[in-house]
Chains A and B, each alone.
Chain A
């Protein structure tokens, strides 16, 4: 595997050097030259207006050699030195795919001082970890992460690459898929291997959850997918499992990092993030005013969950947009979703329908939310929710100081 300059096509225009994330390109005597240290990340290829930069394993025409690609690679997303839950879920899903194809499962871990995260990756099923560490990789930035992961992919040639469908995964994966000119399927809720062909079948909801689609990327590798958080099952960690750590050397060229994080703002009013919560308590128009949300906050706290809001509640200004669940907000997939004073417009339902269990409290017995609820209570939420909070606290045996058991 390598990368080369087509001497006939290169005009020495000087455009590509600025785009090399590792500072390994320069123009010498009117032609671009690739210097030592190139990680073959492929970032320069798209930049060339003359198509003079070629990945050398790339066949000039026809179907590429799919046989050269093997194994599953999981992007091990971490945030401030902690693995995201979805990373462990991806390892669970990736392990199954790897076992089924009798290939290996690897994780790509990118960050600054994150090597302590390798053992948990092995415990959850990874055979190998590709480790890219650099202080410039402390915060997620698209450019250096795409370059680092691109280098791992181009060198290792996995057949399948999985990302969590998080804000990071959904930022990084399409950028890289475009660079590698391969297919990417968004927000998958199912992954299977097609028996006869060995291709990855990627199952996902579309059209607001009204249909399911099975998508295939048969002629190009790697097959890439982002996977909806909380859908896949983690494996039971085996702390005795060991694996191989492969350090990917490469100094990130600071000039190639074009964006810069200047501040990270954690909104500390929630114990758990809406996207990662096992239990979500959401409020809608029926709450009547912003202050009523404290009832839901108390219940969420007692249950160890997070608070969400319907579009009506957000549009009324009772909660910021980041709380919105539904079509123009977030899709959640908790074990339990409690909808309080939410009528259940289709735009809301698309954001909650993959929840394991839906509970609805609404005073209108005709509210559409009852059609999808596993358990519905017709009545006044202002009386029912405090009662429920009390019952939960009693059951959990505390006095309201917070029932988060996680």
Chain B
């Protein structure tokens, strides 16, 4: 099995309690916010490595981003991926999900034939979940999203997908692209020797020229959508907090809900 896992380095949104927006540029101030491997991508990586351990093959981990996104790729290597590639070029900057998917597809075509592409269901910074299905279209392979179980049966997959109010089980031929949810596995914690080994590795960096990518389909120019404005939402105001015997507390809450028209 040739498996490609697409990952993203993201700001740790849990550390973003004090979000600042640059007064003049209107962009997010990212300094001081630590970067992490997108949590959903860890599940994709783990699943890829498990499939490889069972069936043999190779796992390549792929990311587009600035030079420091190397750290996320090294984490992938430490978890058991065999190869890593970073797509890094100023020309890629400002890409929306369409341009990102195009760029990733150009890289995957350069990597060579594959059986399976795995992505996390979404990244926790943009929260769009759009790159996976868009990439599947660019690669002309079938997709299944929100997958929480994968069984490989020869040249076919049997997968389970989390949907509203339950699950769907599907058959899907290979090659294919799947996006996975958290419930699929418990990612391993890499050992020190794996981490040390990953740190030693040379990670190839590919530019737009290496990909022979069309300049009108990458970065800002290849992005039909753009951000007009960002702002911090008004924080929720906290209301009343009471501390009294249970029966009284329940009564007070009930009359509050009645007053608000929720209990009627």
Contact = CB atoms under 8 A, between A and B. Distances in A.
Contacts of A379: 243-244, 246, 249
Interface residues of A, number: 97
A213 B230 contact: yes
Contacts of B130: 170, 173-174, 177, 184, 186
Chain B interface size range:
35 or more
Contact of B241 (A172, A336, A378): A378
A179 B253 contact: no
A285 to B, nearest CB: 17
Contacts of A113: none
A273 B83 CA distance: 41
A212 B230 contact: yes
A277 to B, nearest CB: 10
Main SS of chain A's interface residues? mixed
Contacts, number: 270
Interface stretch (B58-66, B142-150, B201-209): B142-150
Nearest to A221: B224
Given A142-B143, A264-B166, A322 B250 contact: no
A201 to B, nearest CB: 7
Contacts of A213: 227, 229-230
A327 B253 contact: no
Contacts of A2: none
Interface of B is mostly: mixed
A370 B183 CA distance: 29
B169 A214 contact: no
Contacts of A266: 165-166
Contacts of A184: 97-98, 130, 225
Interface of B: 11, 13-14, 16-17, 19, 21, 28, 39-40, 96-98, 101, 124-138, 140, 142-146, 148, 158, 161-173, 181-183, 223-233, 235-236, 238-244, 246-247, 249-251, 253-254, 256-258, 260, 262-263
26 contacts: A19-B140, A142-B142, A173-B130, A179-B137, A181-B98, A185-B225, A206-B126, A208-B16, A212-B231, A213-B230, A216-B228, A220-B224, A261-B170, A267-B165, A267-B167, A270-B165, A275-B164, A357-B262, A371-B236, A372-B238, A374-B238, A375-B256, A378-B243, A379-B246, A391-B253, A395-B254
